[in-house]
Amino acid sequence: MRIGLCGVGNVGSALVELFRENRFEIDRRLVRSISLEQVACRSDSPECDLSGLSVTKDVFAITDNPALDVVVELIGGTDVAKSLVLQAMRNGKHVVTANKALIALHGAEIFSVAREMGVKIFYEASVAGGIPIIKALREGVAGNVINRIAGIVNGTSNYILSEMSGARGDQNFVAVLAEAQKLGYAEADPSFDVDGIDAAHKITILAMLGFGASVNFESVHVEGLSHISLDDLKLVDELGYCLKPLGIATKRCDQLSLRVHPCMVEKNNILSKIGGVTNAVLVDGDPVGEILLVGPGAGGPATASAVMSDLIDLSRGADLPNQGFLELRETSVYSIDELICSVYIRVDVKNQNGVMASVTGILEKNDIGIEAIIQKEVNERVARIAIVTSETKERIINESLSELSSLSAMVVPPQKIRIF
């Protein structure tokens, strides 16, 4: 099986090295031998040794090379990447990609061309880096009805929140993001990480695989990290929670709920222990129950490990449906307004008598229970109140936040964080 590689960046160079370093182990797991023949690399000074390989600057020289059987797409983005993947498949080649945006946004078209051409498109590396979550959903729990998939699927956001909440709690967001970029975790455009878009791409793919649903990426409710302050992180900690960047896909009465946002997780929940760039995906299936897969979610070597596993599967001639199901069903997604969960509400109010009663009065009027409450004096003029509510419909919470905002004692608009 002759392989052409498009893109020799962080992941591509780790893959080239993996071919050399683990050659013995890889060879003994293959059914057909595999060889990396040609690479497309735009840089004149690649991050790895490309000697012995045919090198081109043109990715379409790879898709159109009749001597190749498989194209590995590691250039990222959705424009050139989509054209090259479609062209490779139309030329009868199998494709392996790490490109979550491509699968999340154009999966339907890509899978349909793959079916038409009788080729495979494998994408293990597109979700949660080195964790074999695609294989787990497509194969390991294939006998289950999946009810929920939830977890930390963006390593950069988890790294940022962990660093901001941990021993280095004085670190600001910008400094920690710069570190994540330097370590090779972040996307080329890091707003994809911190605004939740990368995680939304991944949750779209997981929902498709887990529920057999054709998922429109636009239907995922997405919130990023930018509104999270160090003050909130301290209060979250004091209330007994950790803040985690979660992607959550659930199925309820044949409807899906798809959301990505920072979420408070109780300190005794295992997800709260997952720090740094590590990812964790929890799958709740019937009859298996809950399984949790944990591992490095970003970085060249971990992602290359996932790409290599797809190449080995291809060499074995695995006849796996690309989408995990032969057909995906149209499934409606319910609005975030209908979500029922507990939330944290933080208000900064004028430090004067009777304000606490006005705040709790609004919650009481809207039938929102209070599970925990903390009040602190910020200074002589401002008091801060943090509340954990009972489970309530999001629409009611939002209406209550509007009412709180209009209190004359409100100093800054209230903050809300959902609880897992």
**DSSP 8-state class, residue 139:** I
- Kindly state whether residue 156 participates in binding ligand HSE, applying the rule CB under 6 A: yes
Q: For ligand HSE, give the closer residue by CB, 133 or 385.
A: 133
Report, in Å, the least distance between residue 77 CB and ligand HSE.
13
By C-beta, is 245 or 414 nearer to ligand HSE? 245
- In angstroms, give the least distance from the CB of 302 to ligand HSE: 9
Q: Closest distance between ligand HSE and the C-beta of residue 277, in Å? A: 7
Does the annotation count 202 as an active-site position?
Answer: yes
- Any idea what DSSP says for residue 166? S
Nearer to ligand HSE, 263 or 385 (CB): 263
Q: Does 1 bind ligand HSE (CB under 6 A)?
A: no
Does residue 304 belong to the site contacting ligand HSE (CB under 6 A)? no
Q: Which of 93, 100, 135, 202 is catalytic?
A: 202
Q: Among the residues of 239-299, which ranges form H helices?
A: none
| 198 part of the interface to ligand HSE, by CB under 6 A | yes
Cα(225)–Cα(57) distance, integer angstroms? 37
Largest CA distance in the chain: 80
Spatial distance between the Cα atoms of 369 and 251, rounded to a whole number of angstroms: 26
Torsion sign across C-alpha atoms 220, 223, 224, 230: negative
Closest CB to ligand HSE among residues 156, 400? 156
* CA 292 to mean position of chain CA atoms: 15
Give the nearest distance from C-beta 186 to ligand HSE in angstroms.
5
Asked if residue 155 binds ligand HSE (CB under 6 A), the reply is yes
Tokens read off for 370? 């209070």
Residues 6 or more apart whose CB falls under 8 angstroms from that of 4 comprise 37, 38, 39, 40, 62, 63, 65, 68, 70, 71, 72
- Cβ nearer to ligand HSE, comparing 303 with 415: 303
Supply the minimum distance, in Å, between the C-beta of residue 244 and ligand HSE: 13
Position 187 contacts ligand HSE (CB under 6 A): yes
Residues in 74-133 that interact with ligand HSE by CB under 6 A: 129
State yes or no: residue 311 binds ligand HSE (CB under 6 A): no
Contact call for residue 163 and ligand HSE (CB under 6 A): no
Q: How far is CA 83 from CA 48, 53, 80, 88, 306, in A?
A: 26, 24, 5, 8, 23
Residue 392 phi/psi, 5° resolution? Answer: -145, 155
**C-beta of 23: minimal distance to ligand HSE in Å?**
26
Q: Is 208 exposed, middle or buried (0-12, 13-18, 19+ CB in 10 A)?
A: buried
Residue type for 72, please? V
Give 36 or 304: the residue with its C-beta nearer to ligand HSE.
Answer: 304
Only one of the segments 20-28, 148-156, 231-239, 257-265 lies at the binding site for ligand HSE (rule: CB under 6 A); that segment is 148-156
Q: How far is the CB of 154 from ligand HSE (least distance, A)?
A: 4
| Window contacting ligand HSE (CB under 6 A); options: 59-67, 88-96, 151-159, 213-221 | 151-159
Q: Which of 336, 107, 99, 105 is nearest to 223 (CA)?
A: 336
Exactly one of 19, 122, 123, 185 binds ligand HSE (CB under 6 A); that residue is: 185
Pick from 153, 130, 131, 133: which is nearest to 141 by CA? 133
Active site residues: 202
Interface residues with ligand HSE (CB under 6 A)? 129, 154-156, 185-187, 193, 198, 297-298
